[in-house]
Each structure stands twice: as C-alpha cells, then as structure tokens.
C-alpha cells in the first residue's frame, strides 16, 4: 500500500472580507532515517513515497556508491514485533570496508567545505565525477514545453500547492519519470534512484527539470547521474553556475512563460 502524501487540516480562509472555515489538503512532511548495514547514517525530511529511490539516488550523488551493482539490498527497518518502520530504511552495500571508510572520509571533507569555500567544494566533486561529454542536443522549442509538462505531472502539488518536483525527459521532450517531494533535492534523488534501478545511468541523453531554483547541490546530483542538460523554472545560484561549467552541464534557468536563460555549455540548445 502506497504511503499517504497528503493530510487534511482545518483552516480559516480570509478572502475579500469574507471568512470561511475550510478543510485544506496539506503535503505530508516526515523524517526518513537512512541506515548503512544497521548503523544510523543520515536523516532527511521528506514526503513519504519512493524512499528506496531516494536513498539510492542520495548515495550515488554523494559518492558512496558508483553503480547500482554496489547496492546489495534496501530494506525496511523492523521493530521487535517484525513491524516495518515507515520512516526508517537500511541499505546493505557491496563495498569493501576499507573503500567505504575512504568514501565516508572523502564525503565529510567535501561536505564540510561546501558553503565555506566553493572552489574546494567544486574541486572535490570534479575529482570523483567525470566531465560530461556528450553530443546530445535539444531544440529550444522542445525545451520551452518541458516546464508545462512537468507542472501537469505534479499530482500532489495540484492538491496541495506545497511540493517541489523533478522530471526526467528524453531529448524529444517525452516525460520518463516525475517525483515530488517537500524538498527539491529529495525529488532529484528519487528520480536518480529510479534511473539507477532501471540501469539507465549515465543519463547522457536526457534533460532534467526541477521546480524552483537550482542550487550547487542539485547540479552535483545531476552531474553524478550524467545528466547533460539541467533546467529550472527559477534562478540558479552563482555556485551552481560555476559547478555546471566545470562538470560540463548545460544549465538553464527561468524556464517559464515562453523564455529561458542559458548559462553554461549553450551549444547543446539548438534553434
């Protein structure tokens, strides 16, 4: 049974001097604990659903795994009565202990530098992510349609107005997967995790669209999955642009209302 992504809460609606009592649909936000071989590893706030994809995508983006083959099993944590915990999963990796310790150490170094020294963060990521080199191109007219297609696929957002989304499209503009979440980065992890499970990586012939703005973290996740073209309906940060330039991603912002801005590697967008 799929977990519920919404709940109903009573509220007072004020509109043009009138007050009405209504039942409002809200997006659910709950914690997800990710364990590695039974040990608590990290905690993230997310919208329930596709938790296994979220964990797989997160581990790939952060450099703890390099391929789907390094995941042995993702399972629910169970209590003493054998009941599955809806907010806790355990990931069993097929990675040698020494290799995992090195990855943990490397990730801590990169994460601790992020936001303190952008240059150090970018150098750390580019050391483990191969530059994206692909001849993939997309027509500007196709790109302009994608934000509308993403919006049309956001079922929970339509009900709540409170979720971000990530969509993966092919170069002809066909939607391959959409995931929604309270956090933009979680939505991206879920899409990457889906593609990882489908054995589609690297995603060298795809376009990724995110709602909202593009951060350094979003570009990092797209780069780890091999996405050559990343677009958002709002603005990128300065560090997101720097990282996209460095790793070879075509970065697009303000994809809405019939226009967009292309910041890096613009040759992939054709007239």
Specify whether the CB–CB gap between 200 and 222 falls below 8 A. Answer: no
pLDDT at 1: 67
pLDDT at 46: 94
Angle between helices 97-113 and 118-128 (to 10 degrees): 150
Residue intervals of the chain classified under CATH 3.40.140.10 are: 138-270
Q: Which of 68, 92, 104, 114 is catalytic?
A: 114
- Give pLDDT tens digits for 231-260: 999 999 999 999 999 999 999 999 999 999
114 is catalytic: yes
Half-sphere exposure of 91 (CA within 13 A, CB side): 28
pLDDT at 95: 81
Query: Other C-beta atoms within 10 Å of 144: how many?
Result: 17
pLDDT at 106: 61
Q: Any bridge partners for residue 179, and if so which?
A: 166
- Give pLDDT tens digits for 120-135: 667 777 778 889 999 9
CATH 3.40.140.10 for domain 138-270, yes or no, is yes
CATH 1.10.10.10 for domain 30-128, yes or no, is no
Residue intervals of the chain classified under CATH 3.10.20.10 are: 30-128
What dihedral angle (degrees, nearest 10) is formed by the CA atoms of 256, 257, 263, 267? 100
Which residue positions in the chain have pLDDT lower than 50?
108-117
Tokens of 201: 């990586």
Q: Helix H segments across the chain? A: 51-61, 97-113, 118-128, 140-152, 155-160, 184-197, 216-224, 238-247
SS (H, E, C) 11-75: EEEEECCEEEEEEEEEECCEEEEEEECCEEEEEEEECCCCHHHHHHHHHHHCCCCCCHHHEEEEE
Query: Other C-beta atoms within 10 Å of 183: how many?
Result: 16
pLDDT at 119: 57
Query: Other C-beta atoms within 10 Å of 212: how many?
Result: 14
């Amino acid at each position: 049974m799929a977990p519920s992504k919404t709940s109903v809460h009573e509220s007072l609606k004020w509109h043009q001097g009138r007050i009405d009592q209504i039942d409002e649909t809200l997006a659910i936000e709950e914690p997800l604990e990710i364990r590695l071989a039974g040990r608590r590893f990290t905690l993230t706030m997310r919208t329930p659903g596709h938790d296994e994809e979220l964990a797989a995508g997160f581990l790939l983006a952060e450099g703890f795994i390099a391929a789907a083959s390094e995941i042995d099993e993702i399972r629910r944590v169970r209590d003493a009565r054998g009941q599955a915990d809806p907010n806790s999963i355990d990931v069993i990796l097929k990675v040698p202990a020494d290799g995992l310790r090195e990855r943990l150490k490397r990730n801590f170094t990169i994460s601790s530098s992020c936001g303190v020294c952008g240059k150090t963060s970018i150098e750390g990521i580019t050391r483990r992510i191969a530059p994206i080199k692909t001849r993939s191109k997309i027509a500007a007219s196709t790109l302009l349609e994608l934000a509308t297609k993403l919006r049309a696929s956001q079922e929970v957002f339509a009900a709540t107005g409170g979720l971000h989304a990530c969509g993966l499209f092919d170069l002809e503009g066909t939607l391959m997967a959409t995931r929604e979440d309270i956090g933009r980065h979680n939505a991206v992890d879920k899409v990457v995790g889906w593609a990882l499970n489908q054995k589609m990586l690297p995603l060298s012939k795809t376009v990724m669209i995110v709602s909202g703005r593009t951060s350094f973290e979003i570009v990092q996740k797209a780069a780890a999955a091999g996405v050559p073209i990343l677009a958002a309906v709002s603005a990128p940060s300065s560090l997101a642009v720097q990282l996209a330039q460095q790793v070879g991603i075509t970065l697009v912002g303000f994809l809405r209302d019939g226009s967009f801005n292309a910041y890096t590697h613009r040759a992939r967008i054709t007239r």
